């Protein structure tokens, strides 16, 4: 390998120094750079393309299920936040405030949105008069600012991040719950069908739910380093926001009723999970569903075969492009094939097609899978269908590896010491009977920085009830009191 190729490649080890490795992959694969202000990042074209593909998938599903996109101002008057005290208590330490406009001090401080319930809810109240106006389903794609990030990890944790936030109002509690499950299901789907990451569905413990919510449901993804990622949350807000902001409607009997509301959000933390889950010591690994370039064709020639090889490669590229494959023909003269292979591996292109004089003469193509370097020779005829099969095979490889990691890293424990020892040695999830007292979580949290990241749901899940231990006489493994719930402990991003 040339010195140039060595500089291009990743130097850190995913297994030994995952934090440093992750930062190097993000930068060398051209996804993001660090901004001059601490805690912020600059998203580069390839990184933003990943966000756009995730956004396209979710946005389409939202619209299929009755959601309209809107956009609200990024500044929220302090008096609006004050109308929902739970938000102030929950978010106040993280809020960035604007106090001046130009040289003039503002009469009222403006918050840079940490979330938008308090500015969207008043307008939902204005737009809701009759039961005929319901359900009201709004979503906005935007950025939010939470001034809490002490250590920047691109996409995982930054002071400003991209996300979508949905806000809905419903006539009944039952309809609001149906909304919660619809959105949680879409988050599960985007992880499993677009990002090739299996997730666990559940709820957050009561003390860790969204401020002002009745229930917070979540999808959690397990990273190869044993930490959990909160993949997306869907909140049943009950009537607290509707009461605070007067979201009422006249029902069919001409009686005034208070609406039931929900909110739900997924951020580009999903991209952090994507990078961390699949990538390796050669660089970025992407599932074909989200990869900006799904297939790269690398022609390999000598001067006497150049014209024939390039013509053959161009014809293959045109056929793939016509079939809807996102394909790139890398015919750069100034780079040798080895350099190109390394560069496209670093950038995570799922399938590489190598075309040399032999392929052109024999009417064949050589396909190489990014995750494991598996190489096969296929007929040129029907190349678009063949490539589709290989892209599906790559997706299945990535999903299966992530699924195996998840299945092998859900463990149980019979004591606080065993919880801490298991997390310290293996990471992953430790599922235990729990009494529901936050003080028991603190015992673990203080020792190994692990917390309850998720509680599995009861079978019906209709109102977000946590699953009960199978043993009716189960006791909390931490305090010994009767256990009515199951808790999954883990370290988290």
pTM of the predicted protein model:
0.95
Q: By the 8 A CB rule, do 128 and 261 touch? A: no
Residues 6+ away with beta carbon under 8 Å from 249: 128, 129, 130, 131, 133, 134, 171, 256, 257, 259
Structural domain harbouring 370 = 295-398
Residues 6+ away with beta carbon under 8 Å from 303: none
pLDDT in tens, 423-474: 999 999 999 999 999 999 999 999 999 999 999 998 766 788 999 999 999 9
Total structural domains within the chain? 3
pLDDT in tens, 102-118: 999 999 999 999 999 99
The domain that holds 424 is classified in CATH as: 3.30.110.30
- If asked whether residues 97 and 227 sit together in one domain, one would say yes
- If asked whether residues 63 and 139 sit together in one domain, one would say yes
Residue where a domain terminates, one of 247, 278, 309: 278
- If asked whether residues 154 and 76 sit together in one domain, one would say yes
- If asked whether residues 367 and 418 sit together in one domain, one would say no
In a domain, 1, yes or no: no
- If asked whether residues 265 and 306 sit together in one domain, one would say no
Per-residue burial over 399-419, b if 16 or more Cβ lie within 10 Å, else e, is bebbeebbeebebebeebeeb
- If asked whether residues 323 and 450 sit together in one domain, one would say no
In a domain, 3, yes or no: no
10 Å CB burial of residue 315 (0-12, 13-18, 19+) is middle
In a domain, 481, yes or no: yes
Mean pLDDT of the chain, nearest integer: 94
In a domain, 133, yes or no: yes
Distance (Å, rounded) from C-alpha 81 to C-alpha 415? 42
The domain that holds 347 is classified in CATH as: 3.40.50.800
Q: What is the dihedral of CA 456, 461, 466, 467, to 10 degrees?
A: -70
- If asked whether residues 463 and 388 sit together in one domain, one would say no
In a domain, 288, yes or no: no
pLDDT in tens, 289-310: 999 999 999 999 999 999 999 9
Q: With bands split at pLDDT 50, 70 and 90, how would you rate the model's confidence at 149?
A: low
């Amino acid at each position: 390998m040339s010195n140039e190729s060595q500089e291009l490649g990743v130097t850190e080890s995913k297994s030994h120094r995952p934090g440093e490795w992750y930062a190097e992959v993000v930068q060398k694969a051209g996804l993001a750079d660090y901004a001059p202000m601490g805690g912020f990042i600059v998203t580069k074209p390839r990184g933003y393309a990943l966000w756009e593909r995730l956004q396209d998938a979710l946005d389409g599903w939202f619209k299929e299920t009755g959601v309209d996109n809107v956009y609200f101002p990024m500044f929220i008057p302090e008096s609006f936040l004050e109308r929902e005290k739970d938000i102030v208590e929950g978010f106040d330490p993280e809020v960035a405030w604007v106090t001046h406009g130009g040289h003039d001090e503002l009469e009222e401080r403006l918050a840079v949105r940490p979330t938008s319930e308090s500015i969207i809810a008043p307008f939902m109240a204005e737009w809701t008069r009759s039961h005929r106006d319901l359900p009201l389903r709004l979503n906005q794609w935007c950025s939010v600012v939470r001034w809490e990030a002490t250590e920047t990890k691109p996409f995982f944790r930054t002071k400003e991040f991209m996300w979508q936030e949905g806000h809905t109002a419903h006539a009944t509690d039952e309809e609001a719950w149906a909304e919660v499950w619809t959105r949680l299901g879409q988050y599960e789907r985007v992880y499993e069908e677009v990002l090739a990451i299996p997730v666990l569905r559940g709820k957050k413990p009561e003390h860790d739910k969204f401020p002002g919510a009745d229930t917070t449901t979540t999808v959690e993804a397990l990273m190869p380093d044993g930490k959990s990622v909160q993949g997306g949350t869907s909140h049943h807000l009950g009537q607290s926001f509707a009461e605070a902001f007067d979201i009422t409607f006249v029902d069919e009997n001409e009686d005034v009723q208070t609406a039931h509301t929900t909110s739900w959000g997924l951020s580009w933390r999903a991209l952090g999970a994507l990078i961390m889950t699949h990538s390796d010591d050669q660089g970025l690994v992407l599932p074909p569903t989200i990869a900006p370039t799904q297939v790269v064709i690398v022609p390999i020639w000598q001067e006497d075969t150049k014209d024939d090889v390039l013509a053959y490669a161009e014809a293959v590229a045109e056929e793939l492009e016509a079939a809807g494959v996102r394909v790139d023909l890398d015919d750069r003269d100034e780079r040798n094939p080895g350099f190109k292979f390394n560069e496209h591996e670093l950038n995570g292109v799922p399938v590489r097609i190598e075309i040399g004089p032999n392929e052109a003469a024999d009417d064949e193509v050589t396909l190489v899978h990014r995750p494991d370097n598996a190489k096969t020779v296929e007929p040129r005829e029907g190349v678009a269908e063949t490539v589709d099969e290989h892209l599906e095979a790559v997706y299945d490889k990535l999903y299966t590896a992530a699924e195996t990691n998840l299945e092998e890293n859900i463990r149980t424990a019979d004591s606080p010491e065993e919880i801490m020892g298991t997390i310290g040695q293996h990471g992953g999830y430790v599922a235990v009977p729990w009494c529901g007292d936050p003080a028991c979580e603190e015992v673990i949290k203080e020792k190994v920085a692990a917390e309850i990241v998720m509680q599995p749901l009861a079978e019906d899940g209709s109102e977000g009830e946590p699953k009960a231990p199978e043993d009716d006489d189960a006791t909390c493994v931490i305090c010994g009191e009767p256990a009515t719930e199951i808790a999954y402990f883990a370290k988290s991003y």
